[in-house]
Amino acid sequence: MLKTVDSGVLKTFSFGAMHISVAFLVVWAMTGDWRIGGATALVEPCVNTVAYHFHEKIWKRRLGRRAGANPGAGLALPA
């Protein structure tokens, strides 16, 4: 029995591949060294993933404080 893959998962992997490719090409173009481009393309997404984890923790804490001070409050975006 074959399971279908969620399109969100495919989109995530597609974006990841694009992100790594763009990072590689930009750094390679800037430095002229494909090894530096490759190293950067591998290291930068890892660092970005860790930074995103802490960004989310801070964001959730901030929203939690706001909701605690004013129940029912959230991020209100203008229409």
Residue-wise pLDDT tens digits, 16-73: 889 899 999 999 999 999 999 999 999 988 898 899 999 999 999 998 887 776 655 5
Q: Are 25 and 37 in contact (CB under 8 A)?
A: yes
Does the reported pTM lie above 0.85? no
Give CA torsion, residues 47, 52, 58, 60, to 10 deg: -160
Examine the pLDDT at 74 and tell me if it is beyond 70. no
Q: Are 45 and 19 in contact (CB under 8 A)?
A: yes
Distance in angstroms (rounded) separating the CA atoms of residues 53 and 10: 21
- Written as one letter, the residue type at 73 is A
